[in-house]
Amino acid sequence: MKFETKLIRVGEEPNITEGSGDVVIPIHLSSTFARKEVDKPTRGYEYSRSGNPTRDALEKRLAALENAKYGLAFSTGLAAETTLCLSLLKPNDHVIVSDDVYGGCRRLFENLFKKQLGVKVTYVDARKIDVVEAAIENATKLIWLETPTNPLMKLCDIKVIAEIARQKKIITVVDNTFMSPYFQNPLDLGADIVMHSTTKYLNGHSDSLGGALMLSDDSLFERLKFNQNAIGAILSPFDSYLLMRGIKTLAVRMDRHQSNAKQVASFLSKHEKIQKVNYPGLESHPQYSLAKKQMRGCSGTFSFELKGDITNAKAFLRNLKELSVAESLGGVESLIEHPALMTHASIPQEEREKIGISDSLIRISVGIEHVDDILKDIEQALWKS
């Protein structure tokens, strides 16, 4: 089955022989399920935290999109990440993390895993293979990659890093939120687990939070499935339904996100008020060839730097008339934000500057409105910055 067909069909096959033949999966709200025999659940369902028919349908679809055997759905992206890390890490284990990962991911590693649970964490510039390799210790259990990174759009070579990790029996996880399964499939490149904040492109409508893990290894799956229930941070039946619905249009949305983003990025790269544009779809991106190699496209989110300082950046954002200044990304509407003051404010300034998140850096999630309207709004606000 082709990708576009999986988006619509997997997990939602109408049951005409036994069921009512619904074309759309019903929202199974029941918290518990009755059984005929006391010692065995009749239809496999006992209690909705352990398994729910709507969530099961979604998990099947999620797995199919990343060419994985298994999918697991959680209440948020960070809930997926927490369950994964609590399942695989213990005190004194070591984790390697790309240095400009999602702010909330860094906060989780710093405050919970490092300070409270005694896990050692090293942040690396994962663009450099030798730096990643040099960071490996005997206690290294996990390499956590995000590519492209947020917000600087740095790429790392999933295939090469996963191969090094495999030889040392280290698990490679890739946060694939920015690309969505439409543009990049980390498992096909050798990663062990893919993570998504489904809140972003997968759901695509800014109306539901969720997280997902996709993988093919049986024993890893058993541990994660056990802890999905034991920890309990599962996705609700209603959000599972919303996500099933949102996913159906992923391919058409991503094509439009990408074509709009390309036009906005190329417009900005020629504008006199702009210092720099970080978009892997532009030939000027230092890792353009790696982007061509491991991605099928470049999605709709990127960052750029204005000339000037924080005053100019704030004036630009204040003067936008149509685009919403808001955190998050991947919805049909364009969203724009200031990482240093918003999404990445929890990273200490010194660290931020070291990574390259300056005070004039702006991140944009280009929506699927008509591109002329997006460009017009940006243009008029730039002249007032």
Tell me the catalytic residues. Answer: 49, 102, 175, 200
Which residues lie below 8 Å from residue 219, measured CB to CB, with a gap of 6+? none
Q: Minimum distance from CB of 319 to ligand PLP (Å)?
A: 26
Pairing between β-strand 211-215 and β-strand 274-278 as defined by DSSP bridges: unpaired
Which of these ranges, 70-78, 156-164, 347-355, 372-380, lies near ligand PLP under the rule CB under 6 A? 70-78
- The reply on whether position 96 binds ligand PLP by CB under 6 A is no
- The reply on whether position 184 binds ligand PLP by CB under 6 A is no
Residue written as token pair 């893919």: 194
The structure tokens listed for 143 are 């390499």
Cα 355–chain centre separation: 20
Neighbours of 91 (CB within 10 A): 10
Alpha carbons 90 and 281: distance in angstroms, whole number = 39
**Residue 325 bridge partners (DSSP):** 336
Q: Minimum distance from CB of 149 to ligand PLP (Å)?
A: 8
- The reply on whether position 197 binds ligand PLP by CB under 6 A is yes
Q: Minimum distance from CB of 151 to ligand PLP (Å)?
A: 10
Q: Minimum distance from CB of 202 to ligand PLP (Å)?
A: 10
- The reply on whether position 211 binds ligand PLP by CB under 6 A is yes
- The reply on whether position 104 binds ligand PLP by CB under 6 A is yes
CA quadruple 316, 318, 322, 325: dihedral sign:
positive
Number of chain residues interacting with ligand PLP (CB under 6 A): 16
Between 100 and 305, CB nearer to ligand PLP: 100
Among 68, 72, 97, 105, binds ligand PLP (CB under 6 A): 105
Provide φ and ψ at 40, rounded to 5°: -150, 130
Q: Minimum distance from CB of 244 to ligand PLP (Å)?
A: 17
Residue written as token pair 């364009």: 334
- The reply on whether position 151 binds ligand PLP by CB under 6 A is no
Which of these ranges, 45-53, 133-141, 193-201, 280-288, lies near ligand PLP under the rule CB under 6 A? 193-201
325, 309, 315: which is closest to 385 by C-alpha?
Answer: 315
Which of these ranges, 30-38, 195-203, 333-341, 377-385, lies near ligand PLP under the rule CB under 6 A? 195-203
- CB burial class (10 A; 0-12, 13-18, 19+) of residue 383? exposed
Between 178 and 279, CB nearer to ligand PLP: 178
- The reply on whether position 208 binds ligand PLP by CB under 6 A is no
Provide φ and ψ at 8, rounded to 5°: -100, -35
Letter string b/e over residues 65-79, b meaning 16 or more CB atoms within 10 A of that residue's CB:
bbbbebbbbbbbbbb
Among 70, 102, 113, 221, binds ligand PLP (CB under 6 A): 102
Pairing between β-strand 171-175 and β-strand 193-197 as defined by DSSP bridges: parallel
- The reply on whether position 299 binds ligand PLP by CB under 6 A is no
Interface ranges with ligand PLP (CB under 6 A): 76-78, 102, 104-105, 146, 150, 175, 177-178, 197, 199-200, 209, 211
